[in-house]
Amino acid sequence: MTDIPLAFPRSALMTFAALRARLPAPVWLDGAAGGRYSVMSAAPRGQLVSRHGRTHWQPGEGGDARDLGPGDPLALLDAQLGAPVASSVPFAGGAIGYFSYELGRRLQGQTPRDAGMPEMAVGLYDWALVLDHRHRRAWLAGDPPAGLAAWLADEPARAPGAWWPTGAASARPDRADYEQAFRRVHDYLHAGDCYQVNLARRLQAPFDGDPLGVYAAFREAAGGPFAAYLELAGGPILSGSPERFLELRDGWVKTAPIKGTRARLADPHADAARRDELGASAKDRAENLMIVDLLRNDLGRACRTGSVSVPRLFALESFVTVHHMVSTVVGRLRGDRTATDLLRDCLPGGSITGAPKYRAMEIIDELEGEPRGIYCGSIGYIGRDGSMDTSIAIRTLTARDGMLDYRAGGGLVADSDCAAEFDETESKAAAFRRLLAVVG
């Protein structure tokens, strides 16, 4: 393994577009909007793709595809990663991909729905281009293809292709149907089934053109620190996620759930007042605390007894279209557990299911009536050094079969107001609507 320093690219987007034109199965974990690192790679030695309860190995070049059977896909991934290998950069090879909400249903003992895409798709990559945005440094790490370092040193640049909507956007449920689902959730809450249930709406719009062109516009509209673009089985997947799911580094685990949202306002004084109102909201604090307690329990399954703590509670973070309330939960991983064990214990994230998680997921399945797919799953990497960094796949869309598909939801509790909750889904959908307005 090598770490080759490179000049920091003038445009990460154009560097990735050039890489994508040169090599197959490109992936980009894009931390330019508030994150520290970005990771790019391509040409994996193969992909692990799990669908319909079975996992398959799809080789990158040459070799035969293999059916690996109905076993636990995360255990199969752990076997592919092998024994940890030390690294001096955040990612120098390993797995990059996605773990869908439907995989979470499977891991929770529920039957996953067919979302028309794999439950899991990860590429096994031997190298990465790593960008440190804080210090404007770049490395080529791992075991890259011959000649790649020299090619990257020439600062290749390529613009993404054009794209355009080919019809109007649709959203479901509409306000009337949402009100009906809201009342049903409240029945469950008052009956004691749950304390909180996340309920989402689905937005779609037909399009044509280059999905990377869509992402170029979307990253401006969404602006999350855990953004990503993946061309793997079931993709392309485009994410502007603001939410970290699980980070594992040097044996320490961190998760940062979001609960509590307010739409941004154009007037700075009104916007600051809106942010202050969120910070003072007893309802949002209670909702956030429910999920913090759920995640303390989830982390406790894989972490050492007594190591789980909450160093940051009810912090406020601002993004392009919304303010969020964010807490942080940390713990020390047990010596007999790995990154995939931790992922298995926690997927899907509690911030986008509800509490208790299992029952909330049953209610979501009943009322949403269709699979979530990548939405509310997770995107990120598990390195050969045993580290992991993943996001919650919110502010995320797929761009395939001529359709852009996006979801927006929010957590409902006993004192939720239906109109306010519907408006919150509209605030979270603003990035998608703004995307369509860019070229519409």
- Per residue, the 3-state secondary structure of 25-91, as one string, reads CCEEEECCCCCCEEEEECCCCEEEEEECCEEEEEECCCCCCEEEECCCHHHHHHHHHCCCCCCCCCC
pLDDT of residue 244: 97
Torsion of CA 105, 107, 109, 110, to 10 degrees: 10
Tell whether the model's pLDDT for residue 418 goes beyond 90.
Answer: yes
pLDDT of residue 297: 95
Write down the pTM of the prediction.
Answer: 0.96
Q: 110-130 burial, b for 16+ CB within 10 Å, e for fewer? A: eebbebebbbbbbbbbbbbbb
CA–CA distance, 13 with 129 (Å, rounded to integer): 13
Contact 407, 238 (CB under 8 A): no
Q: With residue 315 as reference, give the H or E element that holds it.
A: strand 309-318
Check the CA dihedral 227-231-234-236 and report its sign.
positive
CA–CA distance, 60 with 246 (Å, rounded to integer): 28
Find tokens 């899991």 and name the residue: 120
SS3 182: helix
User: For residue 175, what pLDDT band results from cuts at 50, 70 and 90?
Assistant: very high
pLDDT of residue 382: 98
Is the peptide bond preceding residue 356 cis, with omega within 30 degrees of 0? yes
Instruction: Choose among 126, 136, 148, 34: nearest CA to 80.
Output: 126
Backbone φ and ψ for 125, nearest 5 degrees, come out as -105, 140
Tokens encoding 378: 């997770």
CA–CA distance, 257 with 251 (Å, rounded to integer): 20
Tell whether the model's pLDDT for residue 440 goes beyond 60.
Answer: no
Tokens encoding 77: 């991934």
Q: Is 271 exposed, middle or buried (0-12, 13-18, 19+ CB in 10 A)?
A: middle
SS3 225: coil
Provide, rounded to the nearest whole percent, the portion of the chain with pLDDT above 70.
Answer: 99
Q: Beta-carbon neighbour count of residue 197 at 10 Å?
A: 29
pLDDT of residue 274: 94
User: For residue 221, what pLDDT band results from cuts at 50, 70 and 90?
Assistant: confident
CA–CA distance, 323 with 281 (Å, rounded to integer): 13
- Among the options 243, 368, 421, 424, which is catalytic? 243
Q: Beta-carbon neighbour count of residue 192 at 10 Å?
A: 8
CA–CA distance, 141 with 96 (Å, rounded to integer): 15
Q: What value does the mean pLDDT take over residues 188-208?
A: 97
The CATH fold assigned to 2-439 is: Anthranilate synthase (3.60.120)
pLDDT of residue 321: 84
Mean pLDDT of the chain: 95
Q: Which amino acid is at 41?
A: S
Tell whether the model's pLDDT for residue 60 goes beyond 90.
Answer: no
List alpha helices for 314-384, DSSP H: 339-346, 357-368
pLDDT of residue 12: 97
User: For residue 1, what pLDDT band results from cuts at 50, 70 and 90?
Assistant: low
Contact 257, 288 (CB under 8 A): yes
Contact 118, 100 (CB under 8 A): yes
Is 424 catalytic? The answer is: no
Is 243 catalytic? The answer is: yes
- Among the options 102, 247, 259, 357, which is catalytic? 259
User: For residue 83, what pLDDT band results from cuts at 50, 70 and 90?
Assistant: confident
Q: What value does the mean pLDDT take over residues 384-394?
A: 97
User: For residue 284, what pLDDT band results from cuts at 50, 70 and 90?
Assistant: very high
User: For residue 89, what pLDDT band results from cuts at 50, 70 and 90?
Assistant: confident
CA–CA distance, 354 with 200 (Å, rounded to integer): 12
Tokens encoding 6: 């490179």
Q: What is the CA radius of gyration of the chain?
A: 21
